A and B are shown apart, each in its own frame.
Chain A
Amino acid sequence: AQSVTQPDIHITVSEGASLELRCNYSYGATPYLFWYVQSPGQGLQLLLKYFSGDTLVQGIKGFEAEFKRSQSSFNLRKPSVHWSDAAEYFCAGESNTGNQFYFGTGTSLTVIP
């Protein structure tokens, strides 16, 4: 079955520290992969997406993600976290038919001063 897994429910990092949020996918073929951010009380915003080509994808707000086929992973990274990055982050994958998106359960990020 197609699925997306985010193994970390909650992560706490210090402001200025680096960040990596994990995402693993399970699809028959290489899926389209996405990272979304949801700030408190707000809807979802697309950070970045991967369709094909360069496996390192740059997104908004200084985020990047790397697609690793051998590990079935699409981890989100940021070199230096800002307090405003505190939010819920969702990894998502698109099904082979293109009709369904599957979301991970989300990772809640807390940034401490």
Chain B
Amino acid sequence: SQTIHQWPATLVQPVGSPLSLECTVEGTSNPNLYWYRQAAGRGLQLLFYSVGIGQISSEVPQNLSASRPQDRQFILSSKKLLLSDSGFYLCAWSNRETQYFGPGTRLLVL
């Protein structure tokens, strides 16, 4: 069966610090991978998606970036966090029938 891991589960970071959130998928190969952010009162926002290693598409210009160094690994990064980066970050993969979501990372930028 397929499993999706995200870590850390919770993160508190100061403004201006870097960020690295990791997502890994098990039990499938060559999945489409996604990063979403859910901010209070704003629903789910698609940040990045990837159809293969090294292939990243950005939906929303911002100070975040994503990388896919391996087929089942998807990383969300920032060089300098902003207060507005606080939120709930969800990684997901899809097999073109539905999306499967990870447990999420709650990020609080102070």
A and B are interacting partners? yes
A46 to B95, alpha carbons, bound, how many Å?
Answer: 14
B74 at interface (Cβ–Cβ under 8 A)? no
A99 to B46, alpha carbons, bound, how many Å?
Answer: 11
**Contact A103-B36, Cβ < 8 Å, known A43-B104, A49-B98, A90-B43:** yes
- Smallest CB-CB separation from A51: which chain B residue? B97
A46 to B44, alpha carbons, bound, how many Å?
Answer: 14
Q: How far is the CB of B38 from chain A (nearest CB, A)?
A: 8
A93 to B101, alpha carbons, bound, how many Å?
Answer: 15
**Contact A98-B96, Cβ < 8 Å, known A90-B44, A103-B36, A104-B43:** yes
A100 to B58, alpha carbons, bound, how many Å?
Answer: 11
A44 at interface (Cβ–Cβ under 8 A)? yes
State whether A101 touches B34 (Cβ < 8 A).
yes
Of A42, A99, A104, which is within 8 A of B51 by CB? Answer: A99
| Residue of A6, A51, A98, A99 with most partner-chain B CB within 10 A | A99
Q: Which secondary structure characterizes the binding site on chain A? A: loop
A105 at interface (Cβ–Cβ under 8 A)? yes
State whether A103 touches B46 (Cβ < 8 A).
yes
- Residues in B with CB closer than 8 Å to A103 are 36, 43-46
Q: How far is the CB of A89 from chain B (nearest CB, A)?
A: 11
A34 at interface (Cβ–Cβ under 8 A)? yes
Q: How far is the CB of B49 from chain A (nearest CB, A)?
A: 6
| Beyond A43-B90, A46-B99, A99-B57, 15 additional pairs, beta carbon < 8 A | A6-B43, A34-B98, A43-B102, A43-B103, A43-B104, A49-B97, A49-B98, A99-B51, A100-B46, A100-B49, A101-B92, A101-B94, A101-B99, A103-B36, A103-B43
Measuring CB to CB, which residues of chain A are less than 8 angstroms from any residue of chain B?
A: 6, 9, 34, 42-44, 46, 49, 51, 90, 92, 98-106
Task: List 21 A-B residue pairs with CB atoms under 8 Å apart, sorted by A's residue number.
Answer: A6-B43, A9-B41, A42-B103, A43-B101, A43-B103, A46-B99, A49-B97, A49-B98, A90-B43, A92-B44, A98-B96, A99-B32, A99-B51, A99-B57, A100-B46, A100-B49, A103-B43, A103-B44, A103-B46, A105-B42, A106-B43
